[in-house]
Structure 1
């Protein structure tokens, strides 16, 4: 028995020694501090007990962090941080509403059921410009899953804050403008999963000022980007997104910004705390929208309407009487007045340009800018003065000629339109005299205005007086516009890389005008077909240079023009006789109607596809116009294009001799007419 007891004592002591050894090993194991463990970095901390700064690990000493080891510390997943912060904000708001209701000393009465408004920070359903799935836009501030709850109506002695969003009682609201600090600190900025360092922010801002700012001088060049962030985070991130369009060192920055800036945009609009900086951000975003492969998913025209309504609601159109639109005393000094006037002018320019580029009428009334003669500056000193006169002329053309023409060549409406052409051309000549001596960019805008006017000639009947001369003048205008664009692009900065999006739309319009007239059997021998074809081919290169993302609208329209240029029989596009030039398929898209029939031949809104079997001489197929950006979806054949190519081949084989004879007759008639 004694021996067995001795054996048990020895085994117990051995277990105790083993546990002590394990404890010594655990205590001697080197541990990482909290910050190094969070970042998954190697920590050179030697002692578990940190008493002085000298005991800190090298990383915490270098970064000035508090180096410590907590027994219950666990790493926090960064992807969960936004969700946790959003939940915390939601709980704090609920506590705030509960405290406000508890502190109310007024009597309560039973009320009806009202839906609970969602918090401002909760993002709704937003569009994604880089994905081609059709997603509805949710502007409602009410969450879909919210259930009606009972809310009591307070009496007249209740605080006005309790009635926010529930009644229309007038109340004193604070000014909506953000007051930035006089000396904002330069620091990294974050939006969602995007973090921009100070050097990256300065680089992008300098790129914007150098390349994009001259086209729409809406912001002050001398201010730092951090000052704009203090005034409006939306304006800051829109500037970064515009500059990121050509940021070669970070090619994925633009797609990531497209998603996050879009979320920020809708959250800002839903907050109803709008300011002049929000309107400026919308101006820039409508001028350089995010790339998309379909115009049906482009929200630019919708954002233009929001921008105009916000500007009118704030009183930018009546800046001298801004007090009429404010609930608090408001008096603008000279600099603030100038800022309001220039912002309203920029809104007018952007709205009219987007309207014409999309081929859609602008129903919002555009007021004249208030006179600046009451202050020291003159209206002619505004950086938008000449450009605004050009855009107002284009709007006048749209309002005067938007009514569809009758199919025949007789009638009072036809004579009225001829007189309207004459008057509008006289106004344009006066405008060109006023803008003489301006820069080449203003000259390009003047050509765009003339193209917008003369593109309506394609709606006219061929029997109208002076029809042939007008079509030749239209060809000359389109030729000069494309040629000037090529010369502007030859400069160091590059016109095609940084021009606004509506410049691309005007450029496409001019290219399709050249295509339609050059492929018409009647006008081909009249105009300089060789030079026109060379310029048309160079326009394809220009459109591809305007492209920002793979398979976006400029790239796709360039492929469509290239496809039509390569057809064996060009008469498929422009027709053979004088009658075939008239636009009959699309007649309600203003001057952009000339683009419609050709893009729909490949698919509605350019969304069809071109396959190798339809290409002449076995050329490689062009990118699928229906596929999303950067997607690898297979190419689908288009029945309409196959029929068009087949009809062209049959016409070329069966009527080649007749076409030559017809061409000779047309040349003889043309010479006799011009002699």
Structure 2
């Protein structure tokens, strides 16, 4: 039947029309049929979706003390113009079988959300020796969405814990593990869950859960990693696993992700592509951040799309603030590659001048990105990106005082610490900050410490603000610490003891020692170099272990004298009381100076002296977190 309107440009005026005659159809004019504008239909669907949401919320009993959580995603703006029938799945465990999990999004940038329960309440759950009652689980979930979720908006706050457990036990326990950082009713819960949840993370790739939930769980653990304690640090290999799980399931090519499925599924809708694009953006950010924190050069993963058009489509889909973060990481990755290409081992005057030009160029790229920044969260990433780029100035020895980089370093470091201070003043606490904020505070405070402890501080620099900011950073690190073995607690120990030290960054004769002894860990080098100064003075156990290692025994048994190990054009492993030789001469060290020997950093790294974590020393038992 030809159902065409009576009026319109293509209305049937002859019965039967040529189309119906050709197809042998009955041709009639339907007066009731009218053309419908798509925008008007979308508006009606939006109203209908809102009515269903209100009906669902009114039929459930909300837990008290609901908290505002902003989910600034591009998917939120698209959700209001599409039919999202995820409400029916909120209480249905079978929702976990969806190829593209449907999480409900708020209609505005900030809305009141709460964890919803049912008449039976949340079920008791157990993970080996840890057992949590339903009300404890509800409190932990509410705590997560109140304090943590805004830093990583990838989960639906209205989904019940039991549904998360049905979708993925690993994701369920990952949320609980992070939330336990600030769970005052059971302060032992974090240490009890750390080992078990970490093992679940590595075993998750063998599970039958949807890869979407595995990726979400890994993102959460990498954003708020457990304290290392006496266990090896696994965040770096875990970040690689996150990246490969995402790529294996086609998240890096959202418009073709259905081609990576083991079963035939329909091509993703626009909303599905946005969700996958944003999740892939989070994967890239977390992976590259893990590389930088471990002193590795991050791969430029934004260009992994098969052509330039796909890359632009991805940028057009995701939220603008994610685009800005990706561009900051892209600039920082290119900067790392350029610095390594310029050379960092033993820099000549020409190399130092070239390095200065390179860093100014990349700072200009950050300035260009800053012109488009409109969200407060973007400002921190811009500050961290600028701080990381400027930290490469510490590789210079001949021009660091004359190139004018130190005043800019002080301003950037102070601005970064001020941002964290403003966050603390606004929220009243810092236990919930993700790893990138902790690392930013560490990078800024170590930079200020190195400048303030050097003779450069008395050469016309205005250090009054730097000094006050440094002490503020120590107090902020105390607020961040949730465990005596976490990085924030160790930051306090190292900064405090190095500040009061008369030997740190000094030669044996008391003169200034400006050169970095660790030069292969990019922006992490100056942090690790400071930790080495701390170890040399305050951790004799570490030095005793180095002196007693099998490598040194083998050399001693062969009757060979200890010498500096030549790498490139520099001599590392030399006496810290001497400047590194710029001519590459191998300097003999007497047996009496063995106690002051600094081994080749690559050798130590191979034996995991540094590879486990930035700080791998036991916390001083006398340190009080209060």
Alignment TM-score, normalising by the size of structure 1:
0.58
- 5 Å matches for 1:351-370? 351-363=287-299, 365-367=301-303
Q: 1:218 to 1:424 in 2, by over 3 A?
A: same
Q: CA deviation at 1:389?
A: 2.4
Give the match for residue 131 of structure 1.
none
CA distance in 2, matches of 1:520, 1:256: 43
Are residues 1:582 and 2:529 paired?
no
2:325 alignment partner, one of 370, 381, 387: 387
Are residues 1:405 and 2:339 paired?
no
CA distance in 2, matches of 1:248, 1:588: 41
Q: Alignment partner of 2:131: what SS?
A: strand
CA distance in 1, matches of 2:299, 2:287: 11
Are residues 1:505 and 2:444 paired?
no
- 5 Å matches for 1:227-266? 227-266=163-202
Q: 1:302 to 1:277 in 2, by over 3 A?
A: same
Tell me how large the CA RMSD over aligned residues is: 3.6
Which structure has the larger Rg over C-alpha atoms?
A: 1
CA distance in 2, matches of 1:326, 1:468: 55
CA distance in 2, matches of 1:564, 1:272: 50
1:476 alignment partner, one of 405, 411, 415: 411
Q: 1:364 to 1:306 in 2, by over 3 A?
A: farther
Are residues 1:427 and 2:373 paired?
no
Q: CA deviation at 1:312?
A: 1.0
Give the match for residue 597 of structure 1.
529
- 5 Å matches for 1:612-623? none
Are residues 1:207 and 2:146 paired?
no
Alignment TM-score, normalising by the size of structure 2:
0.63
Give the match for residue 379 of structure 2.
443
Are residues 1:297 and 2:232 paired?
yes
Give the match for residue 458 of structure 1.
394
Give the match for residue 321 of structure 1.
256
1:316–1:341 CA contact under 8 A, matched in 2: yes
2:457 alignment partner, one of 523, 527, 534: 523
CA distance in 2, matches of 1:434, 1:480: 19
1:541 alignment partner, one of 452, 469, 475: 475
CA distance in 2, matches of 1:488, 1:575: 43
CA distance in 1, matches of 2:483, 2:386: 30
1:600–1:606 CA contact under 8 A, matched in 2: no
Q: Alignment partner of 1:223: what SS?
A: coil
CA distance in 1, matches of 2:509, 2:301: 40
Moved more, 443-452 or 318-327: 318-327
Moved more, 300-309 or 362-371: 362-371
Give the match for residue 197 of structure 1.
133
In structure 2, the gaps of 5 or more residues are: 1-95, 105-116, 543-614
Q: CA deviation at 1:382?
A: 5.4
Q: 1:199 to 1:427 in 2, by over 3 A?
A: same
CA distance in 1, matches of 2:247, 2:161: 27
1:608–1:626 CA contact under 8 A, matched in 2: no
2:505–2:513 CA contact under 8 A, matched in 1: no
1:288–1:501 CA contact under 8 A, matched in 2: yes
CA distance in 1, matches of 2:263, 2:102: 20
Q: CA deviation at 1:215?
A: 1.2
Q: CA deviation at 1:324?
A: 3.1
Q: CA deviation at 1:304?
A: 0.4
Q: CA deviation at 1:316?
A: 0.6
Could you give the per-residue CA deviations for residues 373-400 of structure 1, whole angstroms, max 9, x where no partner exists? 879x943535623322222222222222
Could you give the per-residue CA deviations for residues 305-336 of structure 1, whole angstroms, max 9, x where no partner exists? 11111111111101111233223222222332
Q: CA deviation at 1:248?
A: 1.1
In structure 1, the gaps of 5 or more residues are: 1-173, 611-624, 633-675
1:489 alignment partner, one of 424, 430, 443: 424
- 5 Å matches for 1:599-638? 599-603=531-535
Q: CA deviation at 1:570?
A: 6.5
CA distance in 2, matches of 1:558, 1:197: 36
1:520–1:574 CA contact under 8 A, matched in 2: no
1:289–1:501 CA contact under 8 A, matched in 2: yes
